[in-house]
Amino acid sequence: MTKPSALNQRPEFENYFDTHPEPRLDFAHVRRALQDGYDRPFLLIDPQIIRNKYRRFLAAMPRVRTHYAVKANPDPRVVRVLAAEGAGFEVASPAELDLLISLGIDISEVHYSNPVRARQHIEYAASKGVVWFAFDSVEELRKVHAVAPHAKVYLRIDTPNIGSDWPLSGKFGTKMREVDEIIDVAAELGADLCGVTFHVGSQCRNAENWRVAIDSSKRIFGKMRAKGLEPTLLNIGGGFPVRLAKPIPSVEVIGDVVNEAIADLEDEISVMAEPGRYLVSDAAYFVCRVIGTTRRGDERWVYLDTGMFGGLLESTQGLQYQIETDRGGQLVPWHVAGPTCDSVDVLLKDEMLPEDLQDDDFIYFPNAGAYTTAYASNFNGFPLPDIRFV
């Protein structure tokens, strides 16, 4: 198996991909759920898998404090499961913050890691007890400090997203050449610039991205100390991959890289991560139904009762889910589309599926507990997917 080029010099990663078994919700639970009836697409979640994934993450990186990225799946039942396990939380909006408040979460430990926010959102979060704010520019630093001068702010830096199925660099993250100015402004303002954060890209299959980013963070810590600032936080973000259609490095393999990279960090520096997909994706099946099939010239088209607007947006952006059906026919290319009138609502082209697909057949997306129902909307008046628990 070919390894990513960044790992070619690391013989200990000869067996880099798929080295550990990955969980999946028992399909028998899906069968039982369908016996209760079907009136719209639904996500079926097994909370025990969420618990097991949380514990596995802790075991792989014992020094790393886990803050669940609420945006991955903000269902209150998911948040309660992780809160009971002792997880912290990361939010990106006032609505996510309100959810945590309603569930009695300690807001002083919540991290607001969306690095650019409306001024009123900062004011609201600070009024509710949020202390930790990410930022990635001089402008945002000044804004946060003006609204919440006692906030603990941490700098999001740009870092390579090589090997990530959904790169996140570009929109956020300060460049290394801009760091000195930001540190100077923080020192001038008297802002509590306490640390660094980064994101290696969603569904990252290259563990070396974390090493590169951690090394960059260490250099920034040195610059901070030179200006009289004391770093106390390293936030290694999210991006931890789950088993979809491509091979992945396990969290244990990534943990080896992270643990080695942080081994020389001072004890006073707290290390945290913001896993979202990793904690909830494997715990669920997304279940939908065929509403129509046809041929258009040489193309076979299958239409589902959900699509990019109903929870499967990531399928249109290069994230490859496995797709399962109850049919056993020969596999042939299908174009897979959603039910809306919008022509962009096409999930996949030339997806290999059984040739005997028919109306009312069920379609199953395993390991789809993250960024499915969270993305869903009522566009065209179609109902939101249901969320059921085992």
- pLDDT tens for 350-380 read 999 999 999 999 999 999 999 999 999 999 9
* Three-state SS at 89: strand
219 pLDDT more than 60? yes
Mean of pLDDT values over 92-112: 98
**Position 14 pLDDT exceeds 60:** no
Q: How confident is the model at residue 7 (pLDDT cuts 50, 70, 90)?
A: very low
> Residue 57 and residue 315: Cα distance in Å, rounded?
26
% the chain with pLDDT above 70: 96
Joined together, the tokens standing for residue 84 give 């009971």
Give pLDDT, residue 164.
Answer: 80
Partners of residue 44 on adjacent β-strands: 285, 388
Residues 6+ apart with CB under 8 A from 129: 107, 108
For 310-344, how does the pLDDT look when each residue is reduced to its tens digit (9 = 90+)? 999 999 988 889 999 999 999 999 999 999 999 99
**pLDDT value at position 331?**
98
pLDDT band with cut points at 50, 70 and 90 for residue 163: confident
pTM: 0.93
The whole-number pLDDT of residue 165 equals 79
Q: Please check whether residue 202 is in contact with residue 238, taking contact to mean a CB–CB distance below 8 angstroms.
A: yes
What does the pLDDT average to over 254-274? 97
**Closest C-alpha to 125, from 381, 19, 143:** 143
Q: Give the whole-angstrom CA distance, residue 151 versus residue 192.
A: 7
CA atoms within 13 A of residue 157's CA, in its CB half-sphere: 28
CA dist 205 and 103 (Å) reads 34
The answer to whether 341 is a known catalytic residue is yes
Q: Tell me what the pLDDT averaged over the chain comes to.
A: 94
Can you give the length of the chain in residues? Answer: 390
pLDDT confidence of residue 8: 38
* Residue 282: predicted pLDDT: 98
Is the pLDDT score of 11 beyond 70?
Answer: no
Catalytic option among 194, 204, 288, 341:
341
From 146, 149, 131, 141, select the one nearest 184 (Cα to Cα).
141
